[in-house]
């Protein structure tokens, strides 16, 4: 069968081409408890699994569905989250025993609140798993008390607390996507709480409209009067792949009341289509994880509504990657108004219907249609085409971070342009704030919100209050969307490229952008500091500008007094994780034999007459260079030691565009150092900063006598070649002592061997006379002849003792007696 989406999938499967990924590095990182990012937490020893969040319209009250409880949290205060009311709603002992008898773990048998929606201005509708027997109830929003006795919640809430579901209340009616049986084998999209002539509706269980789905989210579009459901399921249309997962979007009309004879109390407007998050020459990211809707800008039509979703892949080639795709409502409507597939009930094969359509599936107002029309829409509910992402490409692809949840916001910058900001929650516990630009996604910052892995998580965005609420198994964390006060200078404020923040030249501070402040310095698209900060007065730039700096002087910097042969470490924290650091000296190159560039950007070396003087640390980011620190290393023991005051600046042409800004905590003289026109890559090795960005500039100096010096320099062999004190005399003394010890040891060893050989070769008393008496006259004559012959030849007779040759006197050859 000819299917464009199927053919593209086959091409992707055969090609296995991987995309070129850009590294998604957050510019600034805040660990949990960091003073640079103020977070507010709520937790209690008797509250857990705070994972269903409902925010009041004014944003002052946050209702939380937790384990065996519903909470009302007052979030109107800046520095605290206060518990106002708590409704305990837990199963009885009998319910827990019955749950255990069903074979379930006791940890899964409590009542986990999974549905929490405003029914009207006074009541909340809540549903919980309730020991694998779902219950629902009405709760007064002010007093947090139950108005009615809980009733059965089958089809409205899942049985399993870890099974995902979605629910939304529109005009007092509850629309849900969940399972309707204990085993989870009957997925259903249904409507409840209907009154008057309207009846509750659900899907036909016998049609196979859903294939083992995992419900993600639901959204109401008022202008369309439709509810859209987002989920993933097994794609039966791909019969050549076993259990191929696809992401879906489905729709139903709010005006649907079911058919008169065919499809009674069943949906007549149900239709579904595939969401295809895929880039060119790449396998699709086919499993949806979360999705959020972005309403159109003011004055724009409803068709411009965007849906941003997180997708992962079931293919090993894309394992560990997360992708974000956006879909436009007009494209979804176009797919639903096109052709539909038909399922052959005999062969269970999907094909595209070629004959003329009897009706348009998914069209509202079909409840009064004929039986023939309803039978047609009953069998034709899967759209033939797939919904492609905006721009036919993925918005974000990350191989380093595994995203699980997201929320999206449109922010108007100081230039009156709208920017899309994504808040992405990672599995490792970090919240990423990313702005979408023409050049790609830029992660402004990451904030750690929890440490231990959380099985259930949720996000809730309060646009009026500028807050994000993260619900986990541990509690609730409130994160402000803006953190402008962290950026201390105009360059840092501009380089952040945060639509929420801009530099105010009047107050000389980075402040939150608003409609009343049009004079803020900001450049979200390119982060050009030179243009955005041209109206800002740099106090130190005028003093140390390249064209005004004396040739025979240099800034004093921060004084570091050292002794010769000490190991010195000069700190230089990076301005951000996207910046690069480099060290410079006037009239001197930083040779790798004398200097060690550490991973955190600091510089380490041995204090010698050649290494005393001025040191400058520069940070470069997005084409802008600034001074981070200036140090003056001076000998403290000898007042006549060589000082760098006589250093002269390089007689080269400086680059007038190189600027620098002093940071708090630096010496007032921090400014710009002239940059050489010819730079050498081998002289310095810029390193990326660590995850933290400390704002202090303390100097750490290692004493030469401490034992810590050797531990810190185990990996710093180049430091040993630094020119300092000569150890030649010590080396000679040690060598002489070593030779004397070896000679004494050898002498003692030879003496012991001599004594052993002498004791073995010495004659026993009376032995020689007896042997002499036994010799015949012929033997005596022969023996005398042999001695005479030996003397004539100049040879001394000898004996062999244990394989060693000994002299006639019983001693080793060449050994003094």
| pLDDT confidence of residue 589 | 82
Report the distance separating Cα 136 and Cα 127, nearest Å: 4
Residue 622 lies in a domain: yes
Instruction: Write the pLDDT tens digit of every residue in 576-611.
Output: 999 998 999 987 888 888 999 998 889 999 999 999
Q: Taking 80 as the threshold, does the pLDDT of residue 537 lie above it?
A: no
Q: Taking 80 as the threshold, does the pLDDT of residue 151 lie above it?
A: yes
Burial class (CB in 10 A: 0-12, 13-18, 19+), 684: buried
CATH number for the domain that contains residue 275 = 2.130.10.10
Which of 399, 417, 444 is the endpoint of a domain? Answer: 399
| pLDDT confidence of residue 525 | 94
Residue 428 lies in a domain: no
Residues pairing with 135 in the sheet: 128, 152
| pLDDT confidence of residue 599 | 87
pTM (two decimals)? 0.75
Residue 276 lies in a domain: yes
Confidence band, pLDDT 50/70/90 cuts, at residue 96: very high
The percent of residues in the chain predicted with pLDDT above 90, rounded, is 52
What is the residue-averaged pLDDT of the chain?
79
| pLDDT confidence of residue 458 | 92
Report the distance separating Cα 355 and Cα 361, nearest Å: 15
| pLDDT confidence of residue 800 | 34
| pLDDT confidence of residue 515 | 64
Residue 357 lies in a domain: yes
Which of 677, 703, 725 is the endpoint of a domain? Answer: 725
What value does the mean pLDDT take over residues 55-82?
95
Q: Which of 102-106, 646-650, 703-707, 788-792 has the highest mean pLDDT?
A: 102-106
Which of 691, 725, 759 is the endpoint of a domain? Answer: 725
Return phi, psi of residue 560, to 5°.
-125, 110
Confidence band, pLDDT 50/70/90 cuts, at residue 804: very low
709: helix, coil or strand? Answer: helix
CA nearest neighbour of 394 among 315, 285, 278, 276 = 278
Q: Taking 60 as the threshold, does the pLDDT of residue 705 lie above it?
A: no
Residue 529 lies in a domain: no
Tokens of 566: 């000490």
Structurally, how many domains does the chain consist of?
A: 2
Instruction: Write the pLDDT tens digit of every residue in 759-768.
Output: 655 554 444 4
Instruction: Write the pLDDT tens digit of every residue in 257-299.
Output: 998 888 999 999 999 999 999 877 788 899 999 999 999 998 8
Torsion sign over Cα 258, 263, 269, 272: positive
Instruction: Write the pLDDT tens digit of every residue in 166-223.
Output: 999 999 999 999 999 888 889 999 999 999 889 999 987 767 789 999 999 999 999 9
CATH number for the domain that contains residue 705 = 2.60.40.10
For the chain, the first-to-last Cα distance in angstroms comes to 109
Structural domain of 625? 538-725
Q: Taking 60 as the threshold, does the pLDDT of residue 5 lie above it?
A: no
Residue 38 lies in a domain: no
Choice among 44-58, 286-300, 473-487, 632-646 with the minimum mean pLDDT: 632-646
Q: Taking 70 as the threshold, does the pLDDT of residue 663 lie above it?
A: no
What value does the mean pLDDT take over residues 84-100?
95
Better pLDDT: 722 or 740: 740
Residue 343 lies in a domain: yes
Burial 589-602 (b: 16+ CB within 10 A, else e): ebeeebbbbbebbb
What value does the mean pLDDT take over residues 358-363?
85
Residue 580 to residues 337, 654, 687, Cα–Cα distance (Å): 53, 21, 6
Q: Which of 548-562, 569-583, 655-669, 717-731 has the highest mean pLDDT?
A: 569-583
Residue 180 lies in a domain: no
Residues pairing with 421 in the sheet: 409, 435
User: Vertex 300, ends 394 and 119: CA angle to 5°?
Assistant: 90
CA nearest neighbour of 272 among 371, 385, 185 = 385
The three-state (H, E, C) secondary structure of 285-312, written as one string: ECEEEEEEEECCCCCCCHHHCEEEEEEE
Walk across the sheet containing 558-562 and list its strands. 558-562, 624-635, 613-621, 580-584
Instruction: Write the pLDDT tens digit of every residue in 328-360.
Output: 999 999 999 998 988 877 777 788 766 667 888
């Amino acid at each position: 069968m000819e299917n464009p989406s199927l053919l593209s999938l086959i091409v992707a499967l055969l090609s296995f081409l991987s995309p070129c990924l850009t590294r998604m590095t957050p510019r600034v990182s805040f660990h949990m408890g960091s003073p640079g990012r103020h977070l507010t937490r709520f937790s209690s020893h008797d509250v857990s699994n705070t994972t269903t969040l409902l925010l009041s319209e004014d944003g002052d009250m946050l209702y939380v569905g937790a384990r065996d409880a519903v909470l009302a949290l007052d979030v109107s205060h800046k520095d605290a989250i206060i518990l106002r009311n708590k409704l305990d709603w837990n199963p009885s002992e009998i319910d827990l025993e019955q749950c255990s008898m069903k074979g379930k773990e006791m940890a899964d048998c409590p009542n986990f609140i999974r549905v929490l929606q405003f029914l009207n201005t006074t009541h909340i509708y809540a549903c919980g798993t309730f020991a694998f027997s779902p219950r629902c109830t009405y709760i007064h929003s002010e007093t947090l008390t139950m108005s009615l006795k809980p009733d059965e919640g089958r089809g409205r809430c899942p049985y399993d607390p870890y099974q995902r579901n979605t629910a939304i209340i529109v005009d007092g009616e509850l629309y849900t996507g969940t399972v309707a049986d204990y085993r989870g084998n009957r997925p259903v999209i249904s409507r409840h709480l209907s009154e008057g002539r309207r009846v509750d509706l659900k899907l036909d269980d016998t049609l196979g409209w859903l294939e083992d789905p995992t419900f993600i989210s639901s959204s109401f579009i008022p202008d369309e009067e439709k509810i859209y459901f987002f989920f993933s399921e097994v794609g039966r249309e791909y019969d050549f792949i076993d259990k191929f997962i696809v992401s879906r979007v489905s729709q139903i009309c709010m005006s649907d009341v079911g058919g008169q004879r065919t499809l009674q109390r069943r949906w007549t407007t149900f239709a579904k289509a595939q969401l295809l998050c895929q880039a060119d020459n790449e396998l699709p990211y086919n499993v949806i994880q979360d999705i959020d809707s972005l309403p159109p800008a003011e004055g724009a039509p409803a068709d411009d509504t965007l849906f941003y979703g997180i997708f992962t892949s079931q293919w090993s080639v894309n394992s560990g990657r997360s992708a974000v795709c956006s879909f436009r409502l007009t494209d979804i409507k176009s797919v639903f108004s096109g052709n539909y597939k038909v399922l052959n009930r005999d062969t269970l094969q999907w094909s595209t219907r070629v004959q003329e359509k009897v009706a348009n599936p998914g069209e509202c107002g079909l409840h009064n249609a004929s039986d023939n029309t309803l039978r047609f829409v009953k069998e034709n509910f899967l759209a033939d085409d797939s919904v492609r992402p905006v721009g036919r490409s993925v918005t974000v692809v990350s191989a380093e971070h595994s995203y699980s949840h997201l929320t999206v916001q449109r922010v108007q910058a100081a230039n009156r342009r709208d920017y899309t900001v994504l808040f992405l929650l990672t599995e490792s516990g970090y919240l990423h704030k990313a702005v979408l630009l023409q050049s790609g996604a830029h992660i402004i910052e990451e904030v750690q919100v929890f440490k231990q892995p959380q099985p259930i998580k949720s996000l809730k965005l309060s646009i009026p209050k500028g807050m994000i609420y993260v619900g986990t198994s541990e509690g609730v964390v409130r994160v402000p969307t803006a953190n402008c006060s962290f950026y201390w200078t105009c360059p840092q404020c501009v380089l952040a490229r945060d639509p929420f923040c801009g530099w105010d030249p009047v107050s000389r501070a980075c402040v939150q952008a608003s409609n009343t402040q049009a004079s803020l310095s900001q450049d979200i698209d390119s982060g050009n500091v030179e243009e955005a900060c041209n109206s800002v007065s740099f106090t130190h730039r005028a003093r140390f500008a390249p064209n005004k700096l004396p040739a025979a002087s240099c800034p004093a910097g921060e004084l570091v007094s050292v002794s010769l042969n000490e190991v010195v470490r000069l700190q230089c924290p990076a301005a951000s994780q996207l910046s690069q650091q480099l060290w410079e000296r006037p009239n001197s190159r930083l040779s790798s034999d004398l200097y060690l560039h550490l991973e955190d950007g600091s510089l380490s070396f041995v204090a010698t007459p050649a290494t005393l003087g001025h040191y400058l640390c520069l940070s470069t980011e997005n084409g802008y260079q600034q001074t981070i620190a200036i140090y003056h290393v001076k000998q403290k023991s000898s007042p006549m030691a060589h000082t760098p005051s006589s250093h002269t600046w390089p007689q080269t042409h400086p680059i007038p565009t190189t600027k620098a800004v002093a940071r708090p905590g630096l010496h007032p003289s921090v400014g710009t150092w002239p940059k050489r026109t010819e730079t050498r890559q081998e002289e310095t090795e810029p390193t990326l900063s660590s995850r933290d960005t400390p704002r202090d500039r303390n100097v750490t100096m290692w004493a030469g006598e401490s034992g810590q010096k050797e531990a810190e320099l185990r990996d710093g062999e180049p430091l040993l070649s630094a020119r300092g004190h000569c150890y030649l005399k010590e080396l000679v003394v040690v060598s002489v002592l070593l030779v004397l010890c070896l000679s004494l040891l050898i002498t003692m060893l030879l003496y012991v061997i001599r004594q052993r050989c002498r004791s073995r070769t010495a004659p026993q008393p009376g032995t020689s006379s007896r042997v002499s008496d036994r010799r015949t006259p012929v033997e005596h004559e022969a023996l005398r002849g042999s001695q005479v012959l030996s003397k004539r030849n100049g040879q001394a007779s000898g004996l062999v003792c244990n394989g060693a040759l000994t002299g006639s006197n019983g001693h080793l050859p060449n050994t003094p007696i």
